[in-house]
Amino acid sequence: VEQFGKIDILINNAGISQRALLADLPLDSLREVMGVNYWGTVYCTKFALEHLLKTKGSVIAVSSISGFSPLPARTAYCSSKYAVHGFLESLRIENMKTGLHVMIAAPEYTSTEIRKHAIVAGGKKQGESPRDEKTMLTPEFVAERIARGVRKRRRSLVIGKMGTLTVIVTRLFPRLSDKLIYNYIKKESNSPF
């Protein structure tokens, strides 16, 4: 604000993942995931809010399909994404008359370093991705979709065909979704199932 005099957009994109059963995850690891994913979003949004209100700017959270649809062995990660969704959806309603734009972007699997740094059983770092990163969305594709969503002032943005299908099936057929998601995660290398 000192340098440019205003804030037009805040993109909350910091995040860490977790890949372990709750029984194998130390409480400190759950706190770490919530600290970065949820509280990081809360703090940044809170401190930027007065400036964003002046410009009728945008608050964006780069979330995950996991904010709409649960994943086994991702209890901390999914909880943090659900919390971010609730926080920003409430913020949107609070600011219906102020001109503040609030958008949640939820990309499906995207080829980033997040899986390599994921917290696993015992609180350790995973070290390598259990998935084929080449089959995932690229960060550039996701960024372009988010930029388009900001220009159109969308409130929610699910990015990717598999992600869109997952959200729809989870909402309409939750029991079927549970089985499909379980079997999908079961196929991952190093899956706890």
Active site residues: 77
For residue 104, list its beta bridge partners.
61, 156
Rounded Cα gap, residues 72 and 156, in angstroms: 24
